[in-house]
Amino acid sequence: MCVAIPGTVIEKKDHTATVDFGGTKVDAEAGLVEVREGDRVLVHAGCIIQKLDQKEANAMTALFQELEDALAEEEEEEGRLNAL
Amino acid sequence: MNITMAHGAGGETTERLITEIFMSAFQNKELLRSGDCALLPGAERIAVTTDSFVVQPVIYPGGDIGRLSVCGTVNDLLAGGAEPKYLTAGFILETGLELNTLKLIADSMAETAREAGVMIVAGDTKVIGGKGGLMINTAGFGIVPEGREIGPEMCRPGDALLISGTLGDHHAAILGKRMGIKNDIVSDNAPLREMVETLFVNGIRVHAMRDVTRGGLATILNELAKSSKVCFELEEKALPVSESVHSFAGLLGLDPLYMGNEGRMLFSVDEADAEKALELIRKSRYGENAARIGGAAETHGYGTASAPSVILKTLIGGRRILKALVGEGLPRIC
Amino acid sequence: MPYESILRFLTEYDGEKTTIMEICGSHTAAIEHNGIRSLLSPAIRLVSGPGCPVCVTVSAYIDRLIELSKRPENVIVTFGDLIRVPGSGASLSDAAALGADVRMVYSPMDILTLAKKEPDRVFIFAAVGFETTAPVYARLVELSEEDGQKNVRLLTSLKTMPEVVDILCSSGGEIDGFLAPGHVCAVSGYRIFEPLAEKYNRPFVAAGFEGNEIMAALYALVRLKGRGVVRNLYPRVVTAEGNTSAIGAVSRIFEKGDASWRGLGRIASSGLYLRKEYERFDAGSRGLDRDRVAEGCRCAFVLQGKETSTACPLFGKNCTPSSPKGACMVSGEGSCFNAFQNSQNGLDGGFRP
């Protein structure tokens, strides 16, 4: 469900934004998110549903950091249980 | 001016249509004879194919139904190992069709035929009531040179698989136009004679060829696997897909492996010739994005002779089984 | 943590058997496209959940669309794969073959252009979907209202996730963790799963749709087994609160109500319906509860993760992607469709052989 891919806003006019997906361009409804030219956005069924975090490039790093944190937290918990 | 029922009635209007549009576009000595059938020199093995073209819209980014009808027919003959020679064309015209459109399509067809080195030697026109549409049925004839053994059953374990260009362009161009999605994708429709003949001239041991049309690469590989009783292993990272087609497919939840082309050839060639063949294809017209995408193997483990399969090694190292397209490959959005 | 370590962990995992449900149909498709099952230890089992909109649409909804399509002034406008879903008899595709005007579009917004071009026809959008798509329909209604467009209607089958997941957790499905739907979370925020995580003590991880993103999320879910937490591994798109303006638009236009799910029955408060003040846009979406499924069809159990697709007596025999009996066989997101794609090799959409 909910097929959505990221693209870049190349033009904004009223509540419509032209979003470029590497050559494919969609006039997307932009009434649900404040966007400007150059913004990276997520488009679903011709509608911008979310603005992408500008830290996108670091997303994978952040993601793995989050995993390590999750793991550390979990081990801490196990340690506590074992101590009981 | 538009097509009316009179254009199909067989009278003067019909004749004018034929002379002014078709004869002038396709002129050659066989057609000018205006006989009931063309008389042509023969050969020991004649390759014959027929195809119908109903694409909508009839003119689309990068091509039109006329060019498409020649490419589709010629590439089928080439895939059979034949040297394409002659084409016939039957036109079904709907009332309301603009004569200018028809003229444009006939001219494009003639130009493509010239490029492909084939003659359109017989034709027919019928008119039906409708909304200005146009359909073309063709037959294609080619001569298979002596000693050339090529066919869908000839892939051998160990063969290298080469694809002559990016996947899905034609499909994306048509669907994009139909759904009103703007993009820079143009159809890849092209006659591939030069490319194919270069391989033979240079002694490449081509075992099988298929033009990648409806159903896409995954579907035709399944058909080849079945005929040749081999299985194919592909590398996802080697598959050529343009950025535009990739994003277009992403938008609609489609998969380029199941999207058709009209100017891409898949070659199964002897491993020893693979590098040379790839180089030749890349140097030939329409072949600049050719890639080596995998190879054929004995059917063991993942498949049996009665149920051969196509396996894709994915970007993350997984194994995905590619079956033939089922249904229509409809967009999946919500 | 490097991807290789995640891969090794998931391949070599020999702990307790762990069942993970991917709720979203796009995850189901991505799992298939990336060959993820082939990378997992036999002790990790993936089951597909109810997040494929066409898979959970009841037959009464399709029947209603077909009935509407028979009126000459009506045009049915839809996304692609819905047209092949069988109702109690025919599908929209069958209706189109008999002359109904059925059009396929990329965006619901396209209906505004169509409606302006042909003011004498009535354009009915087959508005199926979940939290992600609801705001798109909400905007469509708002814009139709602004434009004074009189010939636009929606036949809604809009559903929301938390209620159905609650049912799955409480009805004894043995699911140890949930791959949370990335784009539902993008709109609604990952918080919507927190009450369920706590109530049932199961982890939810919001994930993207790339192969390595899904692998990372599966890794997290296996590690977090037994803990009632929600984690966000799709931070470039997903936040805790989601898109508040989208959520606002949905609640201005729609109200919550009970909804019927194919195979699962009526689930309280799991649907969205046009509010009374917008009912002139409604093509008759309420009360579409009847759900006639083919005899022997096990979609209901498959959707709950209680059975694998191959256990269904119709699977691969009477029910195939080219001739689907159950909705799970229709969509490229359906678990039966994907199991069928793999069935030749015994990868049955459940445990690896």
Quickly tell me which residue has 């092949």 as its tokens: C84
**Of C42, C35, C34, C37, nearest in space to C13 by CA:** C42
Q: What's the mean pLDDT in A47-67? A: 72
Beta strands at C177-180 and C204-206: parallel, antiparallel or unpaired: parallel
Structure tokens that stand for C188 in this block: 């609604």
CATH code, B196: 3.90.650.10
**Distance (Å, whole) CA B268 – CA C45:** 37
pLDDT tens digits, C250-280 = 999 999 999 999 878 899 999 999 999 999 9
**Distance (Å, whole) CA C35 – CA C38:** 6
Residue A68 has pLDDT above 60, yes or no: yes
In chain A, what residues touch C6 (CB-CB under 8 Å)?
67
Residue A57 has pLDDT above 70, yes or no: no
B227 belongs to a structural domain: yes
**Distance (Å, whole) CA C252 – CA C248:** 6
Residue C57 and residue C288 in contact, taking contact as beta carbons nearer than 8 Å: no
**Of A13, A3, A31, B217, nearest in space to A21 by CA:** A3
> Residue A78: exposed, middle, or buried by beta-carbon count in 10 A (0-12, 13-18, 19+)?
exposed
pLDDT-derived band at A23 (thresholds 50, 70, 90) equals: confident
* A10–B contact, CB cutoff 8 A: no
In chain A, what residues touch C1 (CB-CB under 8 Å)?
64, 67-68, 71
User: Are residues B245 and B116 both part of a single domain?
Assistant: no
pLDDT tens digits, B64-119 = 999 999 999 999 999 999 999 999 999 999 999 999 999 999 999 999 999 999 99
Amino acid type, C243: N
CATH fold of A1-52 reads SH3 type barrels. (2.30.30)
User: In the prediction, which pLDDT does A56 show?
Assistant: 53
Give the one of C1, C25, C107 whose C-beta lies nearest to A68's C-beta. C1
pTM of the model: 0.87
What does CATH list as the number for C1-296? 3.40.50.11740
User: Are residues B165 and B275 both part of a single domain?
Assistant: yes
Are the beta carbons of C39 and B318 separated by less than 8 Å? Answer: yes
Q: How many domains does chain B have?
A: 2
pLDDT-derived band at B147 (thresholds 50, 70, 90) equals: confident
User: Are residues B19 and B165 both part of a single domain?
Assistant: no
B155 belongs to a structural domain: no
Are the beta carbons of B250 and A21 separated by less than 8 Å? Answer: yes
User: Are residues B76 and B216 both part of a single domain?
Assistant: no
B334 belongs to a structural domain: no
Q: Give every CB contact of residue B51 below 8 A, 6+ residues apart in sequence.
A: B69, B72, B73, B76, B137, B138, B140
Question: C-alpha distances in angstroms, C258 versus B211, C87, C163, C255, C286?
Answer: 52, 20, 10, 10, 9
* Helix (H/G/I), strand (E/B), else coil: B239: coil
* A60–B contact, CB cutoff 8 A: no
* A35–C contact, CB cutoff 8 A: no
Are the beta carbons of B185 and A23 separated by less than 8 Å? Answer: yes
Structure tokens that stand for C120 in this block: 């004498």
Give the domain ranges of chain C: 1-296, 299-338
Q: What's the mean pLDDT in A33-61? A: 84
* C139–A contact, CB cutoff 8 A: yes
CATH code, B66: 3.30.1330.10
Structure tokens that stand for C196 in this block: 């369920």
Among A46-55, A72-81, B250-259, the range with the most confident prediction by mean pLDDT is B250-259
pLDDT tens digits, B204-237 = 999 999 999 988 999 999 989 988 989 999 999 9
B239 belongs to a structural domain: yes
Residue C215 and residue C3 in contact, taking contact as beta carbons nearer than 8 Å: yes
**Distance (Å, whole) CA B277 – CA C321:** 38
Are the beta carbons of B247 and A25 separated by less than 8 Å? Answer: no
Question: C-alpha distances in angstroms, C73 versus A20, C119, C120?
Answer: 36, 10, 7
Residue B4 has pLDDT above 90, yes or no: no
Angle formed by the axes of helices C335-343 and C25-33, nearest 10°: 20
Last residue of a domain, one of B143, B178, B209: B143
* A72–C contact, CB cutoff 8 A: no
User: In the prediction, which pLDDT does C50 show?
Assistant: 87
In chain B, what residues touch A22 (CB-CB under 8 Å)?
243-244, 246-247
Longest CA span, chain B: 67
Question: C-alpha distances in angstroms, C198 versus A76, C123, C227?
Answer: 19, 44, 8
Give the one of B251, B253, B334 whose C-beta lies nearest to A24's C-beta. B251
Are the beta carbons of A32 and C1 separated by less than 8 Å? Answer: no
User: Are residues B138 and B169 both part of a single domain?
Assistant: no
pLDDT in tens, chain C (353 residues): 778 889 999 999 999 999 999 999 999 999 999 999 999 999 999 988 888 888 888 999 999 999 999 999 999 999 888 888 888 888 898 999 889 999 999 999 999 999 999 999 999 999 999 999 999 999 999 999 999 999 999 999 999 999 999 998 888 768 999 999 999 999 999 999 999 999 999 999 999 999 999 999 999 999 999 999 999 999 889 999 999 999 999 999 999 999 999 878 899 999 999 999 999 999 999 999 998 878 888 888 887 778 888 889 999 888 888 778 887 887 777 888 888 877 654 333 332 22
Q: Give the range among B29-43, B44-58, B152-166, C12-26 with minimum mean pLDDT.
A: B29-43
* Helix (H/G/I), strand (E/B), else coil: B137: strand
**Segments forming the whole domain that contains residue B174:** 160-322
* B323–C contact, CB cutoff 8 A: yes
User: Are residues B134 and B166 both part of a single domain?
Assistant: no
Q: Provide the 10 A C-beta neighbour count for residue B104.
A: 17
Structure tokens that stand for C94 in this block: 């069958």
Residue C89 and residue C294 in contact, taking contact as beta carbons nearer than 8 Å: no
- Determine phi and psi for A70, rounding to 5 degrees: -60, -40
pLDDT-derived band at B308 (thresholds 50, 70, 90) equals: low
Residue C204 and residue C240 in contact, taking contact as beta carbons nearer than 8 Å: no
User: In the prediction, which pLDDT does B283 show?
Assistant: 97
In chain A, what residues touch B332 (CB-CB under 8 Å)?
3
B266 belongs to a structural domain: yes
Structure tokens that stand for A75 in this block: 């081990």
Last residue of a domain, one of B143, B170, B194: B143
User: In the prediction, which pLDDT does B306 show?
Assistant: 47
B285 belongs to a structural domain: yes
* Helix (H/G/I), strand (E/B), else coil: B103: helix
Are the beta carbons of B302 and C345 separated by less than 8 Å? Answer: yes
